[in-house]
Amino acid sequence: MNDTRRGEARGHVVALCGGIGGAKLALGLSHAVPGEQLVIAVNTGDDFEHLGLHISPDIDTVVYTLAGIVNTESGWGRAEESWCFMEALAMLGGEAWFRLGDKDLATHVERTRRLRAGESLSTVTAGIRKRLGVKACVLPMSDDPVRTTVETGEGVLPFQHYFVRRRCEPEVRAVFYAGADAARLQPDIAHALASPHLWAVILCPSNPYLSLGPMLAIPGMREALTRSAAPVIAVTPLVGGQAVKGPMAKIMNELGIDRTPASIAGFYDGLIDGFILDRADAASASDMDLPIVIEQTVMVTLEDRIALANACLSFADRLAGDGSRKERVA
Ligand code: FO1
């Protein structure tokens, strides 16, 4: 049976996803799970208002990646981009620290226009991803604002000010998800997680503290995961004690968290049925009290992304088949 037919037979898959690392696995999953049977719940804690525009960096990273138009060098923004707007803005002394390419700018302008006309972020995202030819169902984690905020040695910083403007240099003391308590889980995500036709839930290799933390802080999300009919599998974002990209290892040091796969699995404690470790960390498997699969999690080529996606789905099949999921839910 090929992977597509397997997808039709086994129902849908929900992937919880942040930006660059998550988008790579989401792309692999889109080759294994047909069309809207793949539901990608995306972090919006990184969203912010900038230059009067609503920017949703992780949604755009996922949509551009699945549309095949992402800048593969940076992992964000569009390929074959031009920067006339940024250059002109900088010449005027405007705020040029957050780089918006000309084509990318069109996404933010159109998103902002539709939001101001009263559409929800979910509807706007659906419109944009369909126009760009993305078949998978890409959804913001919530239509309500949740804003990741970082308490640092330099004071409290909004996420993009910490991440881009200050290049993750300030020491992190705590991370907050402002607005999460009052946010409503996006209804189609809640519906997909509650469906009896769910095949698997995948926690993509995104930064747990910055990217998946905001999603898990939304009321009802943890319960939706623990009650879901399908196995929940997390893929480690840590390889040999290092992040593939981004500040995760630095943040773990600053927060006093051991840079081990066990720490990541601990962050997801009670939520996951299985954990995928990188080959570099095979020796850590014995430290963990849950089913483990060891894989190559560093995704360089498209084939790597598809192979990891298929490994996640096979792991879900195995966990569903051996009854360990049922045991945990009971
Ligand atoms: N990341 C940067 O490091 N510098 C930038 O100037 C920058 C601009 C940018 C514009 C649009 C967009 O969708 C993403 C952008 N990113 C930029 C990436 C983004 O800040 C982060 O990758 C995510 O928020 C973390 O997942």
What mean pLDDT is predicted for residues 275-295?
Answer: 93
> Which atom of ligand 1 lies closest to the CA of 56?
13
pLDDT above 50 (res 3): no
- Quick one: three-class SS letters along 160-188? HHHHHHCCCCCCEEEEEEECHHHCCECHH
Q: What is the pLDDT of residue 287?
A: 80
Q: What is the pLDDT of residue 328?
A: 55
pLDDT above 70 (res 181): yes
Percent of the chain with pLDDT over 70: 95
Q: Cβ(53)–Cβ(112) under 8 Å? A: yes
Expressed in angstroms and rounded, the spacing between residue 23 Cα and the centre of ligand 1 is: 14
Least confident of 98-107, 209-218, 282-291, 294-303: 282-291
Residues contacting 260, CB < 8 A, separation 6+: 238, 241, 281, 284, 287
User: By alpha-carbon position, which residue is closest to atom 16 of ligand 1?
Assistant: 76
pLDDT above 70 (res 277): yes
Burial profile 185-194: b = 16 or more Cβ within 10 angstroms, e = fewer: bbebbbebbe
pLDDT above 60 (res 254): yes
Expressed in angstroms and rounded, the spacing between residue 296 Cα and the centre of ligand 1 is: 26
Give per-residue pLDDT as tens, 190-216: 999 999 999 999 999 999 999 999 999
Separation of alpha carbons 210 and 175, rounded Å: 8
Q: What is the pLDDT of residue 101?
A: 98
> Which atom of ligand 1 lies closest to the CA of 75?
22
Expressed in angstroms and rounded, the spacing between residue 29 Cα and the centre of ligand 1 is: 23
Q: Which amino acid is at 39?
A: V
3-class secondary structure, 235: strand
Ligand 1 binding residues, C-beta < 6 A: 18-20, 46, 55, 57-58, 60-61, 76-77, 98-100, 104, 160, 163-164
Expressed in angstroms and rounded, the spacing between residue 57 Cα and the centre of ligand 1 is: 6
Expressed in angstroms and rounded, the spacing between residue 98 Cα and the centre of ligand 1 is: 7
User: If we measure between CA atoms, which residue out of 14, 17, 6 comes closest to residue 38?
Assistant: 14
Q: What is the pLDDT of residue 221?
A: 98
User: Is 197 exposed, middle or buried, given 0-12, 13-18 or 19+ CB atoms closer than 10 A?
Assistant: exposed
pLDDT above 70 (res 246): yes
> Which atom of ligand 1 lies closest to the CA of 163?
20
Separation of alpha carbons 66 and 35, rounded Å: 11
What mean pLDDT is predicted for residues 131-141?
Answer: 98
Q: Cβ(24)–Cβ(305) under 8 Å? A: yes
Helices (H), the chain: 3-10, 20-32, 57-67, 84-91, 102-116, 121-131, 159-160, 187-194, 213-216, 221-227, 248-254, 261-267, 302-321, 324-329
> Which atom of ligand 1 lies closest to the CA of 211?
26
What mean pLDDT is predicted for residues 65-77?
Answer: 97
Q: Cβ(214)–Cβ(190) under 8 Å? A: no
User: By alpha-carbon position, which residue is closest to atom 2 of ligand 1?
Assistant: 164
Give per-residue pLDDT as tens, 20-68: 999 999 999 999 999 999 999 999 999 999 999 999 999 999 999 999 9
3-class secondary structure, 259: coil
Q: Which amino acid is at 228?
A: S
Pocket test for ligand 1, best of 164, 215, 248 (most atoms within 8 A of CB): 164
